[in-house]
Structure 1
Amino acid sequence: MKLQDLIVFENDDLVALNKPSGLLSIPDREGKEPSLKELLQHTCPDIFTIHRLDRETSGLIIFGKHAGAHKYFCQQFEARKTIKIYNGLVIGSVPEPSGSVDAPIAENMVKRGTMIIHRRGKPALTDFKVLHDFTLYSWTEFRIHTGRTHQIRIHAKEIGHPLAVDTLYGDGKPVYLSSFKSKFNLSKEHLEERPLLNRLALHAAQLKIQAPDGHWLELEAPLHKDLRATLQQLQKRK
């Protein structure tokens, strides 16, 4: 993986990258696995964390290139002035074409590392809009107004349509072509079917943020190959 291939925008203040699923945004406590921040530090030692994505989530993430930019952009995130758009493949056909989930999110004290909707939690608001209904799955746009841990994942579960391949809040099952293609046959070269998608079906697609000079940056990260291929197959058989 070449770092340069992941960069979608860069200026004197920030660098925006299209993070692959499975890669940590920043080093974890053990520090045994590579992270996007560490890769950046090879070429830019002074790099600052502005926000982060879940390890399983792919897509747009930005880092500050100096202390001033770090403070400026972090304040925007904290003041909820940024516009954050995600795309995700949820399980099933969502009956409402659009809507909002306004439900507080708290840490799950029983199952560490997961979150729950609970009145003791912090406020969390997510807008959703169904872009394509494939019956078995729905390709959905999410806009988050808050930045809680696992927010989209748990709010998708709350409306009864968890994200595909979500091992924490859904069934965790990979997406197979055989599940929606009639008369599916394995090729002679393969003994078992390979999944189209074997990771969380969530992608940070767009970010609108104001630059220090006052103009707005509209950043976008294209879908990675696995999500693109899955959507192409679903669209063929809609």
Structure 2
Amino acid sequence: MQAVEVKITEEQQNERIDKVLSVANEEWSRSQVQQWIKDGVVLVNGQTVKGNYKVKNGDDIVVNVPEPEPLDVVAEPMDLDIYYEDSDVLVVNKPRGMVVHPAPGHTGGTLVNGLLYHCKDLSGINGVMRPGIVHRIDKDTSGLLMVAKNDMAHESLVNQLVAKTVTRRYKAIVHGVISHDTGTIDAPLARDKVDRQSMAVDENGKHAVTHFRVLERFTNYTFVECQLETGRTHQIRVHMKYIGYPLAGDPKYGPKKTLDIEGQALHAGILGFVHPRTGEYMEFEAPLPPEFKVLLEYLRRSS
């Protein structure tokens, strides 16, 4: 069990403890924190509290993060597109349509199943279902992911994400013609109050910033590059919808009438980070997948 200490500042007081802790560590979901509170592993000034506890300035919070359970996810042979690998980190190009990690009731066919077969040694920080997984991309988003092969590498990569020093650039096709060449969307995100499976812009949500630039314009669509400053769930998809340019093909946030593709037109093409052991900055680029190129050619012919 790993004890993690969290200090409360004056700005945070009177906020719910589950919200404060999920903001303090991007790897902790609010639901996970709530479960830890119920399990009694979250202590405030040495005492257990309820999930609706409002923190006070100066509170000393200790989260006794449980040890990962024994792994029961099955390793499966897969033809993984690995861009880089050493004893600490691995960079893989995830295909469109593949889920990153197992979930209850869906334990097979994911990237994690393939990674376990490929290399055996993955960090255990994120527990049974997400060994080695430092960050995620959605099922229908293709592109590059960094994977930690030990806990030292995992902590280093997470710290880089928190410090916003990881380079993450995506290519996307959005509805509408964006007139300006560049822009920044700075809008906090939280779970949608009605649909808990979706995210929404919410003034009480987590800080989220997306930068974008136009690459090409078509009659009714725009090809853009988005750079993440933060990495919230569905961030690009929600942010682009928020400014009136939802992603083409997006079944959750886009219009019903869209391009005939399965899932959002989004590709995580560029990933850069500092190697946890050598301190060297490394950057990788994965080209657009064939189906994305076909879509662009169709839009060019149609414009």
User: Is the shorter-chain TM-score for this pair beyond 0.5, marking a shared fold?
Assistant: yes
Offset, 1:38: 1.1
Residue range with higher mean Cα deviation, 206-215 or 7-16: 7-16
Aligned to 1:94: 178
Distance 1:224 1:165 in 2: 15
Contact 1:174 1:199 in 2 (8 A): no
Offset, 1:82: 0.7
Alignment of 1:65-214 (within 5 A): 65-175=149-259, 195=260, 197-211=261-275, 212-214=277-279
Offset, 1:99: 0.5
User: Which among 114, 124, 131 is matched to residue 39 of structure 1?
Assistant: 114
Aligned to 1:64: 148
Runs (5+) with no aligned partner, structure 2:
1-76, 123-131
Offset, 1:172: 4.5
Which digits, 9 at most, give the CA deviation of each residue in 1:194-225, with x for residues without a partner?
Answer: x4x33210111101101131211011112111
Runs (5+) with no aligned partner, structure 1:
176-194
Offset, 1:138: 0.6
Aligned to 1:20: 95
Aligned to 2:295: 230
Aligned to 2:13: none
Distance 1:12 1:112 in 2: 38
Contact 2:219 2:302 in 1 (8 A): no
- Equivalent AA in structure 1 for residue 230 of structure 2: T
Offset, 1:29: 2.4
* Aligned partner of residue 49 in structure 1, secondary structure: coil
* Aligned partner of residue 231 in structure 1, secondary structure: helix
Distance 1:109 1:63 in 2: 32
Distance 2:174 2:270 in 1: 19
How many equivalent pairs are there? 218
Cα RMSD of the aligned pairs, angstroms, is 1.8
Which digits, 9 at most, give the CA deviation of each residue in 1:138-167, with x for residues without a partner?
Answer: 110001101111110010001101000111
* Aligned partner of residue 87 in structure 1, secondary structure: strand
Offset, 1:43: 2.1
Normalization by structure 2: what TM-score?
0.68
Contact 2:80 2:114 in 1 (8 A): no
Contact 1:164 1:173 in 2 (8 A): no
Contact 1:174 1:198 in 2 (8 A): no
- Equivalent AA in structure 1 for residue 114 of structure 2: L
Offset, 1:173: 4.3
Which digits, 9 at most, give the CA deviation of each residue in 1:78-100, with x for residues without a partner?
Answer: 22111110110001111221111
Offset, 1:42: 0.8
Distance 2:238 2:205 in 1: 13
Offset, 1:233: 2.5
Distance 2:301 2:87 in 1: 43
Distance 1:115 1:96 in 2: 26
* Aligned partner of residue 118 in structure 2, secondary structure: coil
Offset, 1:11: 2.3
Aligned to 2:4: none
Structure with the greater alpha carbon radius of gyration: 2
